[in-house]
Each structure stands twice: as C-alpha cells, then as structure tokens.
Amino acid sequence: MSHDHHDERPELTPEQIAAALNPPPGRNGGDLVVETLQGLGATTVFGLPGQHALGMFDALRRSSLGYIGLRVENNAGFAADAYGRITGEVAPLLLSTGPGALTSLAALQEAASASAPVLAISSQIPSAGLGGGRHGYLHELRDQKASFRDIVKSVHTVRTASQIPSAIAAAWESALTAPHGPVWVEIPQDVLLAGTTLPVVTAMDATPGELHARPELIAVAAHLLSNAERPAIIAGGGVVRSDASGKLRALAEKVAAPVVTTFGGKGAFPWEHPLSLQSWLEDRHTTDFLEDADVLLVVGSGLGELSSNYYTFAPRGRVVQIEADAGKLESNHPALGIHADARDALADLLEAVTPREDPAAAERVREVLGRVRERIDAQGRTLEQHLLGEIRSALPDTSPSFWDMTILAYWAWSAFDARHPNTMHSAQGAGGLGYGFPAAIGAAAADRTKPVLAVSGDGGAMYSIAELATARQYDLPVTWLIVDDGGYGILREYMTDAFGESTGTELSRPDFVALAESFGVPAVRTSPETLAGDLAKSFAQPGPSVVVLPALLRMFEPTHLQG
C-alpha cells in the first residue's frame, strides 16, 4: 500500500500561521467536529439532536455544512446510508447518547451489509462517567461502543478535544477503504461543550488505502477465463460501489461470458445486452446455467443466501472470486480468491485476458431467459409484472429508486430493469423493514435535480411515516409509492404456505392519502391501470408526494424448495 500522499505536506502561508496563532473566540469541541468534517470534504450531515450532543449541533450553525434532520435515528441512518451509496462519499450521521445511539443500530447493520460509507458521530456521557462505572447519568450505558463494535468497521473513542480531528479522520479513512462501511466515533458531552483555543482545523488527510489484486492471481484468473469453454460472470454490489460497470462490460464482451447481476448488483450490466442473463437468481434455470460454467467469475459478491438461490447453487467448474471483504473470500464456495477492489481487479483482468470468440453464447442466454419467462408466465402473475412495467415506464432512467422489504421489491430484485448502475437500492443486505422512504430522502438530499422513488408496503411504511414531515420540511423530490395490502404480505404468504394460516400479519392501517395530506404532502389513491400516469405526475411536480396503491400481490413460486 502506497503512502506517498502523506509526504506532500502543505506549507502554511504567513497569513495561515497568524490565523492558527489567533483562532476565533467562542469555539468548542463541537466546532472541531464540524471543522474536521468540512476539512475532509463533507457538505451534508444527517442526524437528530440530543442533550449530550448539543455542542455538535450548536457548531453546525457556525459551519457551511448542510443539515438534514430526520425524526427517528434509525431513519437518519437509512438516509445517510443512501447518501453514501449514491455519492460514494462519506455520509456523516450525528447522534445522541444511549437510546438515540442505539436506535440507529439496525440502519448501521444495513450500511455494513451494503458497504455504505456512514460516519456515525455520537455523543457520550461526561468523561467522568466513562469506564464502566455506574454513575447514573442520563442515557448511561456500561460500554456504549460495545453495542456497535460487532456491526461497524471501526470504533473510535475521543477523550480530549485534541483527539477529535485525528479520530474523525481515521474513521473517515476506514469508511472509505474498500469495502466501504459504517464507522463509529463517540465524544463525551463535556469535551464537545468545553471551549477550545486550538487552531481552526483546515487541511485534513484521510486518503483511503487502495486494495490492489496480487498480480500472480490475476495471471491465473486471466488464463482460466481465456481458455474457458463456457465462462460465466456473477456481478455483485461491489461492481456498482466501485463504479466498475464499464470494465465489467468490456471484460464480458472480450471473453464472451454471460453475466448475471445479484440483487445488490442491479444495473451493473446492461439488462438488454446479448450476454445479459439479467437478475433471475431465484430461478433454477439460471442456477443450472451457472453450475454448468467451466469457469465462473464472481465479482463483488460473497454468494450469500439470496445470490446462491438459498444455498442450492453448487458450481461444478472453477470459481474465481474477486472480493474487497476478505472475510467473504471462499466463505461459501472453494475458489481462487482474489482480495481486491472490483474496479481495480477488473481493469487488471481486462489487460491480461486474450479475446475469446463464442457466437453461441448469446443464443444460450436467450434460451435460459426464454425458459425463465415460460416458468413465470405459467404462474399467471400478470398483475405484479404489469406494475413493474408501469413503474419502469414512469420512472426517469437516471432516477434512483429505493425499495423496502415488500413483495413488489422481491419481484423487482429479479425482474426490474435498473437502466443505470447505482440507481436501484434496497435493504436486502440486512433485510430490515422501513428502509425505502428515509433512504430516498437521503438520495434526494444528495441530488435534488431528479425525482427519487421509494416503494414500501403498508407494514414497512408505518416505520417511517414520521419522515413525511422531513420530506416536507426540506422540500425533497421524493415520490413514495405505498402498496397497501392490509398486512405484512410476504410473511402472510410464508406462514400460510408453511402452516396453513398466518398469525400476527394482519394490520389495521390509516388512510394513507389523508395522512400524507395532513403533513402537507400531496397524495393520490391509484390503481394498476392509472399507476404509470399518477407516478409520472408525481415525478413531474416539485417536492414530496405519496401514491397509494391498494393491491394484493403474490410472489412467484420459488425454485429452491423443489426436488
């Protein structure tokens, strides 16, 4: 790993030296936090104030940072997660102590699963209370960071003001080193509030380390791909996050290898490309095709539960796995494991492979997709496919969409054409409810120039109703499609299939249209026939809107339970 960037130390001008010797009055530890974030390049922060964190929030007033305040910490975490995914930049998340901090845990688990660079900065009880004693401070935990250590990439505890810039810079570098992920910094209340005469934080360096593939492994992988008879590629979320879809396409075309994208890798490869097997991973025809490959290149995926058709996938050929998370290398299948960033390794492979001609590859792809289509069509699930078509026709190609854990999202994982990389996101990493709408808010905060779509069921929607106030307050261009089927639809289906009836899945719910309008958010009740028009109208108007679709959807039949 090169550290050359640390050797270029900027020289201070006489004016800068004078400014360092005479810092402005009235600053505290909170100012060091926001100055460090600004120095590292942050422009927007998410969060929710709390008693111990007020020093940070007061300092925001003296900074140029934009602030998006959500109503629940977990939702603030989802918003930061989406901001990090969309921009590839660190998303700061400012939190209070104890309950406020702990409420963000489920969102940080999703950020960890999806490799989203979220920098959570939490307050702590006063330093006198640190160390596990039982002092009885409000919000006191015996060891707050212990609750986060198993979830985030790194934890950083600050005990003095002079530690603040270094701790935040170290966390920033950790968040942006491949694989990206959430990190945790905690600062005691008294350190945030204490006045400081330290110079204003200016030039910060937190350049992430680069993760290069070992050349001897690239040489072996290139040899395998160049000489394969039936190569295939599985492209995961790592391809999207490292902005490597162009490299992936060039490599696939050079060695004539069909490509399947995982649900986290949606958009990594063009949907209509002759070599595109699309995303039908929960289909035995796709699984069979991948098992038959003599060389299978897996890029940026750990081949977990969803990507392996519920662990029924059993490859017969050689597997080459490129993965930035060392813990995922060969975790599910023996492989030539290459610990590297996807973009970097694909660039190396592209140079090293020799071109391969295979006129029959596109025909084999057409055959598999034809068999998948026949299987789905035989199940009569026309409503679900119609709805996805309506959404696709209404949603601008470059607009991002955020899907909650709901039946329409499970269809979208397999069947929705994400026409550009990094435009379709869901909570399929950790799989918690309530992701769609607050995540869409985070994406809209990152780029207000295009409408953003959120899709939820009525059950998941109830997790984030409070954020209608946030979308309205900041006038964010988010259209929220709520599919209302009166319960936790997928759980109802799972339980009925497994036990003959369902328990705890039926929900009383509000009139979502009236509820949205009470927040000052325009809303409409739609139907399958009017959905595309109502969505298009919502996308065209500024600010937030809600579209409610009463519909009872069903999943397509799984293939992993057969035989």
Average pLDDT on 24-36 reads: 95
Cα distances (angstroms) measured from residue 83 to each of 45, 226, 241, 400: 10, 39, 12, 11
Q: pLDDT tens digit string along 536-547?
A: 999 999 999 999
Q: What is the pLDDT of residues 303-333, one digit of tens each?
A: 999 999 889 999 999 999 999 999 999 999 9
Q: Which pLDDT band holds residue 130 (cuts at 50, 70, 90)?
A: confident
Helix (H) or strand (E) holding 46: strand 44-47
Distance CA 248, CA 238 (A): 11
Give the containing element (helix H, strand E) for 214. none
Cβ burial, residue 422 (10 Å; 0-12/13-18/19+) = buried
pLDDT category, 89, cuts 50, 70, 90? very high
How far, CA to CA in Å, does 490 sit from each of 284, 407, 459, 505? 21, 6, 10, 9
Instruction: Give the distance, in angstroms, between the CA of residue 340 and the centroid of all CA atoms in the same chain.
Output: 20
Interatomic CA distance for residues 318 and 329, integer angstroms: 14
Rg (CA), the chain: 25
Phi then psi for residue 386, to 5 deg, are -60, -45
Confidence class of residue 137 from pLDDT cuts 50, 70 and 90? Answer: confident
Percent of the chain with pLDDT over 70: 98
Neighbours of 495 (CB within 10 A): 16
CB 403 within 8 A of CB 436: yes
Give the residue-averaged pLDDT of 357-383: 96
pLDDT at 157: 92
For the record, the structure tokens of 219 come out as 């040489």
- List beta partners, residue 46: 68, 93
pLDDT for 72 equals 98
Spatial distance between the Cα atoms of 447 and 423, rounded to a whole number of angstroms? 12
DSSP 307-338: TTTTTT----SEEEEEES-GGGTTSSS--EEE
The answer on pLDDT for 131 being more than 90 is: no
Q: Among 197, 141, 192, 136, which Cα is nearest to 164's?
A: 192
Residue with tokens 């004078």: 18
Q: Which residues contact 223 (CB under 8 A, 6 or more apart)?
A: none
Q: Where on the phi/psi map is residue 540: left (φ > 0), alpha (ψ -120 to 50), or beta?
A: alpha
Length of the chain equals 563
Amino acid code (one letter) for 530: T
pLDDT at 222: 98
Q: Please state the φ and ψ torsions of residue 439, each to the nearest 5 degrees.
A: -65, -45
Pairing of strands 295-299, 66-69: unpaired
**Do the Cβ atoms of 284 and 532 come closer than 8 Å?**
no
For residue range 119-129, list pLDDT tens digits in order. 999 999 888 88
Place of tokens 């025809």: 285
At 374, list the tokens: 């026949």
Q: Could you say which DSSP state residue 544 is in? A: -
Tell me how far the alpha carbon of residue 332 is from its chain's centroid: 22
Q: Is the peptide bond before 179 cis (omega within 30 degrees of 0)?
A: yes
Task: Return d(Cα 516, Cα 386) in angstroms, integer.
Answer: 26
- Averaged pLDDT, 421-437: 94
- Angle, CA 480 vertex, CA 477 and CA 481 arms, to 5°: 145
Phi, psi of 478 (to 5 degrees): -115, 125
**Angle, CA 246 vertex, CA 245 and CA 249 arms, to 5°:** 85
Q: Is the pLDDT of residue 563 over 50?
A: no
What's the CA dihedral at 125, 128, 133, 136 to 10 degrees?
Answer: -50
Tens digit of pLDDT for each residue in 474-527? 999 999 999 999 889 889 988 998 999 999 999 999 999 999 999 999 999 999
